[in-house]
Amino acid sequence: MKKILLASTSTVYGKPYLSYLFDELEQLYKNIDEVLFIPYARPGGISYEDYTAKAKTAFNEINKKLVGIHEFDKPKEAIQQAQAYFVGGGNTFVLLNTLYYNRVLDLLKENINSGKPYLGTSAGTVIVGKTIMNTNDMPIILPPSFKAMGIIPFNINAHYLDPNPDSTHMGETRETRIKEYLTFNSIPVIGLREGSWLQVNEDAISLKGNLSARFFEKGKDPIEITPNGIIHPVKY
Amino acid sequence: MKKILLASTSTVYGKPYLSYLFDELEQLYKNIDEVLFIPYARPGGISYEDYTAKAKTAFNEINKKLVGIHEFDKPKEAIQQAQAYFVGGGNTFVLLNTLYYNRVLDLLKENINSGKPYLGTSAGTVIVGKTIMNTNDMPIILPPSFKAMGIIPFNINAHYLDPNPDSTHMGETRETRIKEYLTFNSIPVIGLREGSWLQVNEDAISLKGNLSARFFEKGKDPIEITPNGIIHPVKY
């Protein structure tokens, strides 16, 4: 029985880190004492220690202990013995590369598939999709592959942004970028707006939060998915 | 004697494709009859034929003949026999990957270094830097390397955008992304705003257009570079 929460962002505007998700996290981590934090995405190049300290502050609010994977001698053992996981945001290339480098990507996937609760935010959400090809991040390191865990059957674009009709900027909109991706690739993409999250229970995937999400499939017009409904398995 | 023009964007808001650069292009391609167009970046997945037709329309305005590299049987021969080049924008990963795949990246570099005029816009500009690690594009294909031509001694961030102080979006600003890059890498980066271009004559690199550019070096505060001055060799 999978228990997965995939948030577009860790932080919504004007609120403390993770606080908009506290009620959900109480449910996700029910009966869990200690959560393993994987700080590999290092937003802004922050150290593992500082990033873990930040995450601990939020987890204190829901009375859960958090330990950083870097506090263990062997990352594989940390993954194996953990009760539950949280993978925070930052740079998706750095995150995926470090998971490959430490040879823990498959092991993490197995443990999530076997039912250990998982929270992802931003980059930590993207790596649960099939590939990281819809990240917004800069490619500041070359991972051996863009293949991610593939626990859900599509890719995720986090922090999805609608086109700004007043913009004079000539760089591509997010929608244009995702459509460009679909001319070269066939895995569908969900654009998850800030404040939205996906909840995965076994193989049912639901969209949560107050906003709709934008779903892109090759050769079709994008559609808006309504919150609080099961979005998979449905259309494909 | 290098003759290179590297534009942040092909198109400025409200004006036809390339038109803001026509005076510059007359100079760049002086005494050149025919320019080789490399449409590999395929913006929005456009075909090579359609992209070349679009570029031809602009080149007609300056009375230059344009031929697409895909019109030749062998890309290497097309590069070798060309008098001058234009590499248009689109997806930087797709562009670099295709240059590697067709084994023409080094040959193009040699020909540019030996003095054949080169115009790059957006992705076509980024590949003249040391690596493509500061592209804004989605990683929709995995190239064998992020290493680019390295004709200039830094990386380029095209379509550089200043932070919007009114934004409530929690995704990283361009400056945050570039600073994050510099915690993992040491090659400097120039953020080139739309409407700016770099002019390379031999080893002197000048910033052109009406706007300043933002220059990022590891361990230093970013600086604003004033237009119309030589920016390299100067500080490093």
User: How is the beta sheet containing A189-193 ordered, strand by strand?
Assistant: A155-160, A189-193, A213-216, A223-225
Q: Rounded mean pLDDT of B35-49?
A: 97
Of B51, B6, B34, give the one whose Cα is nearest residue B160: B6
Write out chain B residues lying below 8 Å of A172, CB-based.
43, 136-137
Write out chain B residues lying below 8 Å of A183, CB-based.
42, 44-45
Q: pLDDT (tens digit, 9 = 90+) per residue, B158-170?
A: 999 998 888 888 8
Name the residue in chain B with its Cα closest to that of A132: B139
Annotated catalytic residue: which of B19, B70, B159, B206? B159
Write out chain A residues lying below 8 Å of B137, CB-based.
172, 177
pLDDT band at B233 (very low <50, low <70, confident <90, very high): low
Q: Rounded mean pLDDT of B79-91?
A: 98
Paired tokens of A6: 């995939």
The answer to whether the Cβ–Cβ distance between A43 and B172 falls below 8 Å is: yes
Q: pLDDT (tens digit, 9 = 90+) per residue, A82-131?
A: 999 999 999 999 999 999 999 999 999 999 999 999 999 999 999 999 99
| Positions of chain A with pLDDT under 70 | 232-236
Q: Is the pLDDT of residue B236 over 50?
A: no
Of B196, B236, B195, give the one whose Cα is nearest residue B216: B236
Instruction: Report the percent of chain B where pLDDT is more than 70.
Output: 98
Q: Is the pLDDT of residue B106 over 70?
A: yes
Of A46, A232, A1, A115, give the one whose Cα is nearest residue A10: A46
Chain A nearest C-alpha distance from B1 (Å): 32
Q: Is the pLDDT of residue B226 over 60?
A: yes
Q: Phi then psi for A43, rounded to 5 degrees?
A: -55, 130
- B225 SS3 class: strand
A232 is annotated as an active-site residue: no
Q: Rounded mean pLDDT of B52-75?
A: 97
In chain B, what are the domains?
4-225 (3.40.50.880)
B212 is annotated as an active-site residue: no
Of B75, B123, B130, B129, give the one whose Cα is nearest residue B103: B75
Q: What is the mean pLDDT of chain B?
A: 94
CB B217 within 8 A of CB B188: yes
Q: pLDDT (tens digit, 9 = 90+) per residue, B176-220?
A: 999 999 999 999 999 999 999 999 987 789 999 999 999 999 999
Give me the pLDDT at residue A1, please: 84
Q: Is the pLDDT of residue B234 over 70?
A: no
DSSP bridge partners of A67:
A36
| Cβ contacts from A onto B, under 8 A | 117
Of B20, B232, B52, B39, give the one whose Cα is nearest residue B124: B39
Give me the pLDDT at residue A233, please: 59
* Separation between Cα atoms, residue A203 and residue A191, nearest integer Å: 20
Q: Is the pLDDT of residue B51 over 50?
A: yes
Paired tokens of B236: 């490093």
